[in-house]
Amino acid sequence: MRIREVALLCLSPLIWAQTVSFPEILEYATQNATILKIKSTDTLIESKNIKVQEAAYYPSFDVSYNAEYNQALDGIPLGVESVGGETISNGTRYQSSIALKLNYDLYHFGATDKRVDIASSSLDIKRVEWCEQEKQLHQEILQKYSDALKSDIEKHYKAEMLNLRKDLYSMKERLYKIGRYSKVDLGDEAIYMIGLQRDIENSQMFYKESLIKLSQLSYKELSDKTHLLPFTTELEDGIVEDYEDTTQAVILRKKIKQKKDEISLQFREQLPSFGLYSSYYMYASHPRGYEYTITQINKKSWNVGLSLRYNIFEGFKHSASEEQLKLELSRLEQEMFDSKHNHTYELKSKLTKIDELNLIREHEQNLLDENYKKRDMLEKLHKFKKVDMLTKINAQYELLERELTIKIREIEAAYENISLSIVHRGINKCSPH
């Protein structure tokens, strides 16, 4: 087999393996996650509610048709009487009527404007809630992506460490046969290898579980052969927004404004309302024939008038509702204060953790450099028969342990950086939707 064919054969698993980066998964999730589509639907629903509230700016117009049979029980037809505000016809007859009615609310001290403002605030809140939901989704994906990266790194490094342990076991087994190594120590070495094999299997299991969870969250199908690229995003200056620009703050501010509008609406609804009404009637009646009343309907009368409506007393309903709304406003203001308080300390905690991780990683990098020097020195000593192979392999094993720790620290530091940028992402960083 030619060298080129051998190289292609060795690289074929990498060629066919699916390679995915963290930004690609985030973008795919933003476009396809059902939870975000639900939030988009909520936004559309609220946009229609604005149209419902704006309908009060227009007059209402309706038409009604009535067909009636009226029979006088006392047999004394007296025409039409009015009793308790009801118009009563005590004659025996068939009646049909058509009424065209128009009603228009002329003035209600801005109550309609407030209802539209409240509906507009609800729409704005739903739009920002979409961004907040996107942040939560991205944070969950980040956690699982980080878990998968760590599991994959552990699997590969511990596979190398297991190979070294196998070499150590083979050497110690030969030493045991010539009486230079104890059986107990040899058994410990075997237990160590079994433990490493178990760790590799656990890492493989966690990696597969993380890929399944990533597929669930992002709606992007990832196979067992998927290769996740390492994190590349780092914390940049200004990427952490002030609290006032975060989605949590924007949502709470809009909710507070909306609640104030509701209190204002509650007051305005207690004031008188002025309206315009107009009716146009056509009707006919006959003592014996229903068909006559239908064919003989003609123009009869119309009216137009102004109305004043004012509720004097409704059992303390308005005062109780007003107190309830004010308590809800107070709760939102308390929630705003608590949210800002938590934002301050969570940001401080995140930044402190990032600084500590970077410091720890720097110290561990120094230790790793020393391990490299130790390994190089032992290799030279081994060439001159100054140290045995066991010492050399142990140094290589220690080096792999140190490299694995460094890799895990790098993933953790990148996770904290990206998490900080997601959790404290401002409204201006929201994806277009």
- Band of pLDDT at residue 5, cut at 50, 70 and 90: very low
Query: What is the arithmetic mean of pLDDT over 64-88?
Result: 70
> Is the whole-model pTM more than 0.85?
no
More confident residue, 233 or 103: 103
Q: Is the pLDDT of residue 126 over 90?
A: yes
More confident residue, 398 or 339: 339
Query: What is the arithmetic mean of pLDDT over 267-280?
Result: 91
Q: How far apart are CA 368 and CA 362, in angstroms?
A: 10
pLDDT at 36: 95
Place of tokens 């938590």: 342
Q: What is the pLDDT of residues 179-190, one digit of tens each?
A: 777 888 888 888
- CB atoms under 10 Å from CB of 259, counted, come to 20
- Band of pLDDT at residue 6, cut at 50, 70 and 90: very low
Query: What structural domains does the chain harbor?
Result: 59-107+273-309 (2.20.200), 109-149+206-272+315-433 (1.20.1600.10)
Nearest C-alpha neighbor of 80 from the set 282, 277, 285, 279 = 285
pLDDT at 57: 92
The pLDDT mean for the chain works out to 85
Q: Is the pLDDT of residue 272 over 70?
A: yes
pLDDT at 15: 42
Calculate what percentage of the chain has a pLDDT beyond 70: 87
Q: How far is CA 76 from CA 44, 70, 73, in A?
A: 62, 13, 8
Q: Is the pLDDT of residue 354 over 50?
A: yes
Q: What is the pLDDT of residues 248-259, one digit of tens each?
A: 999 999 999 999
Place of tokens 């450099």: 369
Q: Is the dihedral of CA 276, 280, 285, 290 positive or negative?
A: negative
pLDDT at 353: 86
Beta bridge partners of 101: 62, 279
Q: What is the pLDDT of residues 183-209, one digit of tens each?
A: 888 888 888 899 999 999 999 999 999
pLDDT at 27: 94
Instruction: Return the HEC string of the chain.
Output: CCHHHHHHHHHHHHHHCCEECHHHHHHHHHHHCHHHHHHHHHHHHHHHHHHHHHHHHCCEEEEEEEEEEECCCCCCCCCEEEECCEEEECCCEEEEEEEEEEEEEEECCCHHHHHHHHHHHHHHHHHHHHHHHHHHHHHHHHHHHHHHHHHHHHHHHHHHHHHHHHHHHHHHHHHHHCCCCCHHHHHHHHHHHHHHHHHHHHHHHHHHHHHHHHHHHHCCCCCCCCEECCCCCCCCCCCCCCHHHEHHHHHHHHHHHHHHHHHHHHHHCCCCEEEEEEEEEEEEEECCCHHHHHHCCEEEEEEEEEEEECCCCCCCHHHHHHHHHHHHHHHHHHHHHHHHHHHHHHHHHHHHHHHHHHHHHHHHHHHHHHHHHHHHHHHHHHHCCCCCHHHHHHHHHHHHHHHHHHHHHHHHHHHHHHHHHHHCCEHHHCCCC
Q: Is the pLDDT of residue 132 over 50?
A: yes
For residues 160 and 200, is the Cβ–Cβ distance under 8 A?
no
Q: What is the pLDDT of residues 33-45, one digit of tens each?
A: 999 999 999 999 9
More confident residue, 1 or 310: 310
Place of tokens 């905690």: 349
Query: What is the arithmetic mean of pLDDT over 5-23?
Result: 59
Q: How far apart are CA 91 and CA 88, in angstroms?
A: 9
Query: What is the arithmetic mean of pLDDT over 58-76?
Result: 82
For residues 266 and 94, is the Cβ–Cβ distance under 8 A?
no
pLDDT at 234: 52
- CB atoms under 10 Å from CB of 222, counted, come to 21
